[in-house]
Structure formats: structure tokens, C-alpha cells
């Protein structure tokens, strides 16, 4: 943690990604401070929000409010799918998303691709209530770069649900906010598959949200932004991008759950409810407009591209025609007997 982020026993999340605004948490005890090959990892015990995980100076989770993020990023796509069996988690080395995915009895295999082994170890040691499902027999860990893993031929058409629990688009997670990564995730889905990715704050990063919607709406059948409130992320809010692949038995929209929490199982969830699922897709006017604008821009760009391509093909067709006429004329001059035979 940069020294200027701790003063008088308080951690302040000062960062260029959210200029002029910062959350502060009072530190009771510093528990862990290591630099991995990828990032600076720190854990402290806070006065009122439990243990806190910080990566490169940015809050990733606190034990008090992590449910608002982990439950929503996992259950929004899982309950939108009628029968999720094979799930991929990208990132999420603290183990919180695994803890949520194992709650679905339909799920047979869970692959988690996390780049940083030290995050996994810190999670197990300092966040046992979060990293509680690593031993579930359905879980396989791939320790590596998710952007490489998702491009592999062996994952094509393999998953029902992909959940990307990443840090922000600076540092190791940068490529996870770019179009090629989403195109590769689409390929890795089965028909009717769903993806859900950490998609930043509507108060701070409307530009990132619009960019994500713009390129995902070209690839997927449907894409939607959903929101959750979480006090320890900047501005107290974070969102998710949910994209659906056509086909299968899934509905294209994730806004109405395909399955509801079963009666008697409500206590498995601290934050998520079937009602909150639908409510997460009800957005303030300016966000609804930004999402609609991004989709309309993508449509217009696609139409423009198709028009330009048609025009280029038309020109090429004409040029080919002229060329073959000229070739034929030249050939008939060079070998008049052929022409005579042909006629
Ligand atoms: N399993 C928890 C990992 C958290 N991953 C998301 C962290 C996002 C932190 N930054 C939020 C910034 C919002 N603009």
C-alpha cells in the first residue's frame, strides 16, 4: 500500500480511477503485506468492517459486506440459467465466488482460473469464511493467465456459465475489459450460456460500461447491466455485465430468474433473494439511457460496416467483371482460334 494511503491509523483508498473521492477505514491491525509477481497484496483488520483485502491499494473485499458482491456476481447468472452444470470462474482467488457457486446442486464441475497463488493463500489464511469451499470435490484450480486460458481450443463450447470476478482494468486485469476476451468467452460458452463480469460503477465509470456494452452487444444475443450496493467500493455501488448466448433453453434476458431460491433454502443466502435478482436490473434513468445509447451506437456502427463492406464487394465485383472482360479480350487477341472455337 502506498505510504500516503495510511495516515493516523486510517487507510484511505486514494486512486486515479476515482479522482477526488476516497473511502477511509480505520485500521485495528495490519495482518499481511507482500508483493507477489503481479501485485501488492495487503490484509488488515479494520475497526468496524472486519478483515479487508487490498490489491495495489484498492479494496477487494471486507468480511462485513463481501456478500453484496460475491452473491450477486455468482447468483445473477446461475439463477438465470435453467440448468448450469459446468461453471468457469475467472479471478476470484479469495474463494468467495466458489463459496457461492457450490450452493447450486445442478453444478457438476467448477473450474477457477486465478493468476496469483499468493491471493489464494492470503484468502485461505485471513478470510476463512470466504475461502470455505476450495475443498469441494467439484472444484479444479488452473493457476494462470485467464486471457490465455480462455483462448485455448480445449475450452470451446464447454461452459454453461462464466463468472469474471476481476479487479479493476489497470494492472493484471486490464485485458479482461477488452473485446477479444469477451469474444473468447462467447466461444467458450455452450448454447444458451451466460457470462457475468465485474463491470464497474455507474457513478464513476459510465465510459467503461458503455464500451463494454458496445462491444458485447455485437457478440452476444443480449447484454444487460445489473447493480448492487456495497459500502466499501467507491461510491458504494458496483455493477455487473450479464451477457447471454443464443440457443439452449435459456431466456435471452437475465432479468427474471429462470429458477428461484427454493422454499427452505433462503437461509443459504445472506444478500441474494429472487426479488432482489429482478430489482438489480432496474436502473436509474441515466444508466438505462447510457446502456441503450451504447447498443444503438453498436447497431449503427454495424450497419455502417455492412454497408461499406457491400459497397467494397460491389466495387470488387465490378472490377473483377471488367478484369475478366479485359482478360477475355486480351486472350482473344493473343489466340483468335480459341475465340473462334468458343463462338
Ligand atoms: N472476490 C472479490 C474480488 C473483488 N473483485 C472486484 C473488485 C473491484 C474493486 N474496485 C471497485 C472499483 C469500482 N469502480
pLDDT in tens, 70-82: 999 999 999 999 9
Confidence of residue 315 (pLDDT cuts 50, 70, 90): confident
Indicate whether 334 pLDDT > 60: no
Q: Which residue has the higher pLDDT, 323 or 120?
A: 120
Stated as kind and residue range, the H or E segment containing 132 is none
Per-residue pLDDT band for 104 (boundaries 50, 70, 90) equals very high
Q: Is the pLDDT of residue 88 over 70?
A: yes
Q: Measuring CA to CA, how many Å separate 201 from each of 111, 128, 225?
A: 27, 28, 11
**Per residue in 109-139, pLDDT tens?**
999 999 999 999 999 999 999 999 999 999 9
The 10s digit of each residue's pLDDT in 39-70 is: 999 999 999 999 999 999 999 999 999 999 99
Ligand 1 mutation pick, 16, 68, 69, max ligand atoms within 8 A of CB: 69
Query: Regarding beta strands 189-198 and 159-165, do their DSSP bridges make them parallel or antiparallel, or are they unpaired?
Result: parallel
- On the question of pLDDT at 26 being above 70, the answer is yes
What are the beta bridge partners of residue 224?
242
Name the residue at shortest CA distance from atom 4 of ligand 1: 60
Neighbours of 108 (CB within 10 A): 12
| Exposure of 11 in the CB half-sphere (CA atoms within 13 A) | 26
Write down the pTM of the prediction.
Answer: 0.90
Give the pLDDT of residue 313. 85
Does ligand 1 lie within 6 Å of residue 67's CB atom? no
Grid cell of 253 as nine digits: 434476458
Query: In this structure, which residue's CA is closest to atom 10 in ligand 1?
Result: 168
Instruction: Name the CA radius of gyration of the chain, rounded.
Output: 25
Centre of ligand 1 from the C-alpha of residue 189, in Å: 24
229 alpha carbon to ligand 1 midpoint, in Å? Answer: 12
Residues in the chain: 343
Position 166 pLDDT exceeds 90? yes
Band (pLDDT 50/70/90 cuts) for residue 309 is: confident
Q: How far is the CA of 242 from the centre of ligand 1 (A)?
A: 16
pLDDT > 70? residue 277? yes
Compare 297 and 329 and report the one with higher pLDDT. 297
21: CB partners within 8 A, 6+ apart:
234, 235
Query: In the prediction, which pLDDT does 342 show?
Result: 38
Give the residue from 233, 245, 246, 174 showing the smallest Cα distance to 204.
233
Instruction: Tell me if 205 CB under 6 Å of ligand 1.
Output: yes
Structure confidence by residue, pLDDT tens digits, 192-237:
999 999 999 999 999 999 999 999 999 999 999 999 999 999 999 9
Probe target for ligand 1 pocket from 60, 91, 203, 236, with the most ligand atoms within 8 Å of CB: 60
- Could you tell me if the CB of 96 is within 6 A of ligand 1? yes
Residue 161 has pLDDT above 80, yes or no: yes
The residues that bridge with 40 in the sheet, in sequence order, are 35
SS3 assignment, position 38: coil
> Residue with C-alpha cell 467458450?
188
pLDDT of res. 331: 67
Q: What is the mean pLDDT of residues 323-342?
A: 58
Ligand 1 centroid vs 191 CA: distance in angstroms? 29
Counting atoms of ligand 1 from 1, which one is nearest the CA of 59? 9
C-alpha 303 to ligand 1 mean position (Å) = 35
Average pLDDT, the chain: 93
Whether pLDDT at 324 is above 80:
no
Neighbour count for residue 31 (Cβ, 10 Å): 16
Residue 314 pLDDT class (50, 70, 90 cuts): confident
Tally the C-alpha atoms within 13 A of residue 66's C-alpha that lie toward its C-beta: 26
Closest residue to atom 6 of ligand 1, CA basis: 167
Using the mean position of ligand 1's atoms as its centre, give its distance from the Cα of residue 343 in Å. Answer: 75
Residue whose CB lies within 8 A of the most ligand 1 atoms, among 120, 198, 241, for a mutation test: 198
Catalytically active residues, by annotation: 165
Amino acid at each position: 500500500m502506498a505510504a500516503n494511503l495510511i495516515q493516523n491509523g486510517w487507510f484511505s483508498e486514494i486512486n486515479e480511477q476515482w479522482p477526488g473521492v476516497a473511502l477511509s477505514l480505520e485500521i485495528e491491525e495490519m495482518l499481511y503485506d507482500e508483493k507477489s509477481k503481479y501485485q501488492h497484496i495487503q490484509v488488515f483488520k479494520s475497526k468496524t468492517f472486519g478483515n479487508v483485502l487490498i490489491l495495489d491499494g484498492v479494496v477487494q473485499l471486507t468480511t462485513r459486506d463481501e456478500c453484496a458482491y460475491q452473491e450477486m456476481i455468482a447468483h445473477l447468472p446461475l439463477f438465470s440459467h435453467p440448468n448450469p452444470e459446468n461453471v468457469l470462474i475467472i479471478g476470484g482467488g479469495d474463494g468467495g465466488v466458489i463459496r457461492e457457486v457450490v450452493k447450486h446442486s445442478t453444478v457438476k464441475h467448477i473450474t477457477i482460473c486465478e493468476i496469483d497463488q499468493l491471493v489464494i493463500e492470503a484468502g485461505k489464511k485471513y478470510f476463512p469464511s470466504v475461502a470455505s469451499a476450495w475443498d469441494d470435490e467439484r472444484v479444479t484450480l488452473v493457476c494462470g493467465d485467464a486471457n490465455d486460458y480462455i483462448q485455448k481450443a480445449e475450452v470451446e463450447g464447454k461452459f454453461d456459465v462464466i463468472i469474471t470476478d476481476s479487479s479493476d482494468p489497470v494492472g493484471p486485469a486490464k485485458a479482461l475489459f477488452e473485446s477479444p476476451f469477451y469474444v473468447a468467452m462467447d466461444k467458450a460458452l455452450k448454447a444458451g450460456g451466460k457470462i457475468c463480469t465485474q463491470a464497474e460503477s455507474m457513478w464513476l465509470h459510465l465510459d467503461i460500461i458503455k464500451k463494454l456494452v458496445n462491444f458485447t452487444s455485437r457478440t452476444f444475443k443480449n447484454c444487460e447491466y445489473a447493480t448492487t450496493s456495497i459500502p466499501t467500493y467507491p461510491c458504494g455501488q458496483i455493477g455487473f455485465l450479464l451477457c447471454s448466448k443464443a440457443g439452449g433453453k435459456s431466456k435471452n434476458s437475465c432479468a427474471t430468474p429462470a429458477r428461484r431460491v427454493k422454499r427452505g433454502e433462503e437461509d443459504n443466502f445472506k444478500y441474494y433473494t429472487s426479488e432482489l435478482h429482478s430489482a438489480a436490473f432496474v436502473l436509474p434513468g441515466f444508466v438505462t439511457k447510457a446502456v441503450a445509447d451504447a447498443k444503438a451506437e453498436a447497431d449503427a456502427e454495424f450497419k455502417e460496416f455492412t454497408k461499406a463492406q457491400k459497397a467494397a464487394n460491389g466495387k470488387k465485383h465490378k472490377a473483377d467483371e471488367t478484369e475478366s472482360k479485359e482478360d477475355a479480350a486480351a486472350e482473344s487477341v493473343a489466340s483468335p482460334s480459341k475465340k473462334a472455337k468458343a463462338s
